[in-house]
């Protein structure tokens, strides 16, 4: 058996085509959505992702504002950049690229953002809205995962889901999203303290691997026919290594490629948050 490919690149292209039309309609009404990015330091992965976000903006007609600060930037300097984006009428939504250098207080910076301009859905107020199951911009990777599963008809309602990794950008937020009444999945959030990872993964109809540990999910851990989504990005000898071993494709029913799976969906859903914020504000 070979798994059906959950093609994030193709699905993201459909989302971007729809956004291009919506951006054109906004511009006809005199509104140009604009995405700001705050990048601190020279982490090579973050440089690639931020450059990609600006390319995506140009593709769909969103304006973009790039703020790059050195790794030595102080908390006050990053706060000043955030204050400027909060006040800028050209910036309708923005993100602070994560991870930040360790000397910065990431939580204080996220809290300083205007929640109405939070294009990542990671402001505590917006995450709080997700906890309360009320309308809010959704974190991009979790939202992308849900849409990718829906695109390929993978049942979510009633599914047992093993999410591996409890980070705020993926695992923890995805647990909140999948347990909303509209999704109604049962989620086990696994992490480095989980006693029997293989046992939890083996029971799952859907496995989301977001631990950043190459080949953590092996073929023998996966229930035949399960949907497996690989969010892990480690760089081994300059190449991307995911959290899912290649031969999982022989047992899984559905599998994301990596690259080309969850990453492009993350980027498309960021654009979607920017457009939705501009539509809400009109
Ligand atoms: N503020 C945020 N920071 C981070 C987020 C986030 O959602 N908001 N997520 C990740 C990184 N990330 C977005 O910022 C991201 C990761 C990967 C991709 C992507 O398209 N990957 C490609 C491969 C690209 C490559 O060559 O490395 C793929 O999977 O096909 C996009 C965005 C952490 N930080």
Residue-wise pLDDT tens digits, 176-209: 999 999 999 999 999 999 999 999 999 999 999 9
pLDDT score of 240: 83
| Measured distance CA(168)–CA(93) in Å, rounded | 19
| Measured distance CA(271)–CA(264) in Å, rounded | 11
Looking at domain 139-262, its CATH architecture is 3-Layer(aba) Sandwich (3.40)
The answer to whether the 32-114 and 139-262 domains have the same CATH topology is yes
Backbone angles phi, psi at 228, to 5 degrees: -125, 125
According to the annotation, is 167 in a ligand binding site? Answer: yes
DSSP output for 9-47: HHHHHHHHHHHHHHHHHHHHTT---EEEEEEES--HHHH
The CATH code of the domain at 32-114 is 3.40.50.10860
Percent of the chain with pLDDT over 70: 100
Residue 34 near ligand 1, beta carbon < 6 Å: no
Which residues form the catalytic set? 53, 97, 120
Distance 1 CA to ligand 1 centre (A): 30
Point out the least confidently predicted range of 59-68, 83-92, 207-216, 237-246. 237-246
- Model-level pTM? 0.97
Report CA 6 to chain centroid distance, whole Å. 16
Beta-bridge partners for 160: 186
pLDDT score of 281: 82
End-to-end CA, the chain: 50
Distance 141 CA to ligand 1 centre (A): 8
Give the CA distances from residue 213 to residues 219, 243, 248, in Å, rounded to whole numbers and listed in that order. 15, 5, 15
According to the annotation, is 22 in a ligand binding site? Answer: no
Beta-bridge partners for 66: 37
Confidence of residue 135 (pLDDT cuts 50, 70, 90): very high
Backbone angles phi, psi at 203, to 5 degrees: -80, -15
Residue nearest to atom 6 of ligand 1 (CA): 169
Q: Where are the domains of the chain?
A: 32-114, 139-262
pLDDT score of 186: 98
| Packed helices 262-281 and 44-60: angle between N→C axes, nearest 10 degrees | 50
Confidence of residue 1 (pLDDT cuts 50, 70, 90): low
| Measured distance CA(147)–CA(135) in Å, rounded | 17
| Measured distance CA(205)–CA(227) in Å, rounded | 6
| Measured distance CA(109)–CA(88) in Å, rounded | 17
Q: What ipTM describes this predicted complex?
A: 0.97
Cβ-Cβ contacts under 8 Å for 93 (sequence gap 6 or more): 33, 34, 35, 36, 117, 118, 119, 137, 273, 274, 277, 278
Give the CA distances from residue 214 to residues 194, 197, 236, 243, 254, in Å, rounded to whole numbers and listed in that order. 18, 15, 9, 4, 19
Residue-wise pLDDT tens digits, 41-80: 999 999 999 999 999 999 999 999 999 999 999 999 999 9
pLDDT score of 120: 98
């Amino acid at each position: 058996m070979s798994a059906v490919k959950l093609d994030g690149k193709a699905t993201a292209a459909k989302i971007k085509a729809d956004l291009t039309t919506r951006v054109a309609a906004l511009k006809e009404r005199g509104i140009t959505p604009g995405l700001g990015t705050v990048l601190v330091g020279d982490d090579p992965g973050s440089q690639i992702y931020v450059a990609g976000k600006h390319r995506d903006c140009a593709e769909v007609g969103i304006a973009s504002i790039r703020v790059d600060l050195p790794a030595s930037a102080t908390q006050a300097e990053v706060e000043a950049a955030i204050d400027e984006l909060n006040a800028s009428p050209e910036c309708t939504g923005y993100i602070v690229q994560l991870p930040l250098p360790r000397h910065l207080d990431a939580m204080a910076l996220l809290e300083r953002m205007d929640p109405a301009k939070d294009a990542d859905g990671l402001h505590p107020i917006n995450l709080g809205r997700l906890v309360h199951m009320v309308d809010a911009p959704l974190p991009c990777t979790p939202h992308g995962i849900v849409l990718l599963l829906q695109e390929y008809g993978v049942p979510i309602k009633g599914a047992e889901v093993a999410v591996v990794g409890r980070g705020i950008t993926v695992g923890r937020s995805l647990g909140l999203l999948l347990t909303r009444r509209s999704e109604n999945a049962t989620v086990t959030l696994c992490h480095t303290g989980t006693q029997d990872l293989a046992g939890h993964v083996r029971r799952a109809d859907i496995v989301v691997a977001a631990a950043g540990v190459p080949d953590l999910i092996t073929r023998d851990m996966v229930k035949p026919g399960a949907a497996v989504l690989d969010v892990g990005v480690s760089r081994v000898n300059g190449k991307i290594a995911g959290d899912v071993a290649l031969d999982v494709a022989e047992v899984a029913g559905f599998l994301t490629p990596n690259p080309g799976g969850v990453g492009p969906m993350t980027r498309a859903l960021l654009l979607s948050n920017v457009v939705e914020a501009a539509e809400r504000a009109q």
